[in-house]
Amino acid sequence: MSRETSAPELERTLAAAAAAARPFAASTPAERAGWLEAAAAALDAEAEELIALAHTETHLPAAPRLKGELARTTFQLRLFGQVLRDGAFLGATVDHADAEWPMGPRPDIRRVLVPIGPTLVFAASNFPFAFSVAGGDTASALAAGCPVVLKAHPGHEGLSTRTGEIVVGALAAAGAPAGVFAVIHGFEQGVTALKDPRIQAASFTGSVPGGRALFDIAVSRPTPIPFYGELGSVNPVVVTPGAVAQRGEAVAKAYAGSFSLGAGQFCTKPGLLFLPEGHGLDDVLREAVGAVTGQPMLNERIAQGFAHKLSELRQAPGVTTVVDGTHQGESFTPSLLSTTAKEFLAGGEAVREEHFGPASLIVTYSDADELIGVLDTLEPGLTATVQGEADEADYVRPLLPSLTRLAGRLLWNDWPTGVTVSWAQQHGGPYPATTAPTTTSVGTAAIERFLRPVAWQGFPDELLPEPLQEGNPWQLPRRTDGAR
């Protein structure tokens, strides 16, 4: 039976988040770091229970998948603790008054980032820990000083409830203000919260139709709010002639493992593989893909949606089958299909759109010019990959403007399905990959989505926030009069 938050409970949750906004924003970065670390420790302590719940509700294997994902989740919380203690995320900048400023006398003006306010986070279906209740969006919003209302995904409601209980309890025990975190359930409750004027930002990971509908609500409110949606991506992989010649078999095997990983239910799954004509890898691909056993999809709705999209792809003009995957109930073996660049350019949406599941499409190209022509027609996404050789720089260089247009993360001789959490990570891209292409939802820069700049002009030192006071009491990295 589906869980739904009652209207009175939702109102209490939103009111509590609004009431917590000022004291939470007034907390120091060090205090928030301690609260996030307490939440991480509490989740680690209940790992066995949480992993068992996640396995039951999502069909994902307990080990290594869910065990590793929970470790990623608590690592994220601790990493944002490091971000907070470092202090550079505040962007503190001081310009002293300067009577000789070239454009005229300059006043004393100081700029810092502040929390944007209560934030609504929509959890994802395919990562029940890392992009869910205590996932990256929650971690980065809490680190920024924003109370979080978490809309649970219906695919793992029991896990969401239990994870929420652990996080709420850990934050309270560590001294965080009441109301800084809560979990709600129900589609209509999520929409109601998104429309509520107390919510100041929202984030989402999921499908293009669902994310676009929520984005439209967010920007159509009487007071529009930022909506950070991660929606869809086909993640093209380009294999050069040199890579085929030098290590084609290894590339083919690694590709088969990448697109079928987790039953193809990754936003970074390589959905298109560009191979030069006459690549000669068909037999290797058949063997590698055919050796992958069936894997259950996350739930019946996703399984049915994938089966429908795969049927459309199989029937598209010019598409041939390399490996004809099978399915039994919600469990699928991977499917691999192929077409030519010319047929791809003439094809419709069936060959171009993301297929959320274990299927991928090979596109053969005749030369670099034809390849660039196809790349320039692709819909943007999260990643673009090149499998090439060191001596092919002159061949690859002309491809890079097209690949840069397409994606927020470019990979060389790697596979896009792994998205590490780090300081330099970029997990975002032009629409429809995301609704805000200047941001990332993974890595330390994800905190920037939930902060806004405020400049203080002419204020006495005692009224300035600590990051901007002359004595720099928090010892932050700052830019002062243009110098770092």
Which residues are annotated as catalytic? 230, 267
Residue 387: which region, alpha, beta or left (left: phi > 0; alpha: psi -120 to 50)? beta
Residue type (1 letter), 357: G
Provide the β-strand partners of residue 384: 410
How far apart are the C-alpha atoms of 212 and 392, rounded to whole Å?
40
E runs forming strands in 153-226? 181-184, 201-205
Element (H, E) at 455: strand 451-457
Unique residue bearing structure tokens 């990983």? 261
Torsion of CA 138, 144, 149, 154, to 10 degrees: -20
As a residue count, the chain comes to 484
- What does 273-327 look like in DSSP terms, one character per residue? EEEETT---HHHHHHHHHTSPPEE-SSHHHHHHHHHHHHHHHTSTT-EEEE---E
Measured CA distances, 337 to 11, 25, 284, 313, 360 (Å): 50, 52, 14, 8, 6
For residues 270 and 354, give the distance between their C-alpha atoms in angstroms, rounded to a whole number: 10
Distance CA 272, CA 388 (A): 16
- What's CA 79's distance to the chain center, in Å? 16
Tokens of 363: 């596109």
Inter-axis angle of helices 29-45 and 136-144, nearest 10: 150
| 373 sits in which H/E element | helix 368-375
Residue 265 one-letter amino acid: Q
CA distance 393 to 278: 22
Beta strands in 200-264 (DSSP E): 201-205, 227-230, 236-239
Q: How far apart are the first and last CA of the chain?
A: 57
Cα separation, 187 vs 270, whole angstroms: 30
Q: Which helix (H) or strand (E) holds 17?
A: helix 7-26
Distance, in Å, from the CA atom of 191 to the CA atom of 213, rounded to the nearest integer, reads 10
Q: What ranges make up the beta strands (E) of 19-147? A: 93-95, 109-115, 119-122
